[in-house]
Structure formats: structure tokens, C-alpha cells
Amino acid sequence: MQKEGDGMFNDANEIKLPPAFSGPGQLILYTRYGDPREPGWANKWIINWHVQQLHPWFPQEEIQIHKHFWPLLQDAFFELERSGLHTEIRTFDHCHHVAHLYESPVLSVHSWGAAIDLNAADNPKGTTGTWSADFNKVMTKNGIYCGQNWQNKEPMHFAMVEGE
């Protein structure tokens, strides 16, 4: 943890958060897992998930994902399969990649591998999205938040933390 004099504190000795971690989801991820831009960070937290081994219908054979997000998504996929809702997933767009939110200094939750974008062409930012209520209910039940439910809609986006 950073200490006084290293840029995390202001003159009143109050904690000031670097802009990269100023979103609510980013703060949670940074507090739990650290800075995803640090050398060696991905080796500690990111795994290669061979999705199609258990879910041959998924549009990508393998994805890089946070090792604590993977079990949530795995459970959701099993439940989606049991209910026949897995057919709503047609494309995989990305999961782990270090990037900033649109024209912002704030890191995307994807930087931690804690978010996945699905059916991006059908669910662009700013739209209500095409996911069924039942699909979203399964994701939410398994601890996965959908951007379709946010004030600033991003329905392609599913994450293990709430917020962009």
C-alpha cells in the first residue's frame, strides 16, 4: 500500500486516488488485485481459459480472463446451457486487455480481465441491448453485472464488479 509522500495523499493528508482507479469498479479491483499495468501482474492473476472444452458452443476456443472472474462465468455458462439461453451468445469480442475508458484516464475493468464483451455488434454502447431478461437474470444470479442495466448503457459488457 502506498504511503504519505508518494502521490496518494494531498496536503491535508487525505487519500487521493489516481485517476486510473477512480471508478467504483476500478477502485475495488485495484484494492483487491493491484495495478494491472505492473510487471508480472498478468502472470499472477490472468489465466487462459479453454472455454470450448466444456462449452463447445462458445464462439472462442480460449480467452484470457481474471482467475476470480472465470468461476463466476463458468457457473453462469452452465446455467445458461441448462436453460437453453446460451444460444443468445453469438460473438466474443474481448476480455483481458489493458485499456482506458473512452477518452478517459480511468482504466477499463477489462484491464484486470474482470469483464467480457459479448455480441458487441448487436449491443453497442448507448443502446438498450438485445439480451433477454432471463439471460440477464442468470448472469446477475452468478455475480456478473451487465452494462445493459447501467445508466450509461453498454449492453455488450459483463463484469465481476458493478460499473464501467
Give the type of residue at 71: P
Q: How confident is the model at residue 4 (pLDDT cuts 50, 70, 90)?
A: very low
And the C-alpha cell for 11?
496536503
- The predicted structure's pLDDT at residue 91: 98
pLDDT digits (tens, 9 = 90+) for 136-148: 999 999 999 998 8
| φ and ψ at residue 126, rounded to 5 degrees | 90, 0
Q: What domains does the chain contain, in order, with CATH numbers?
A: 19-159 (3.30.1380)
Q: How confident is the model at residue 3 (pLDDT cuts 50, 70, 90)?
A: very low
Please state, in angstroms and rounded to a whole number, the distance separating the CA atoms of residues 125 and 9: 35
* Residue 160: exposure state from Cβ atoms within 10 A (0-12, 13-18, ≥19): buried
pTM of the model: 0.86
pLDDT digits (tens, 9 = 90+) for 107-127: 889 999 999 999 999 999 999
- Cβ neighbour number for residue 2 with a 10 Å cutoff: 10
Please state, in angstroms and rounded to a whole number, the distance separating the CA atoms of residues 54 and 145: 23
| Cα 133 off chain centre by | 20
Q: How confident is the model at residue 5 (pLDDT cuts 50, 70, 90)?
A: very low
Give the type of residue at 74: Q
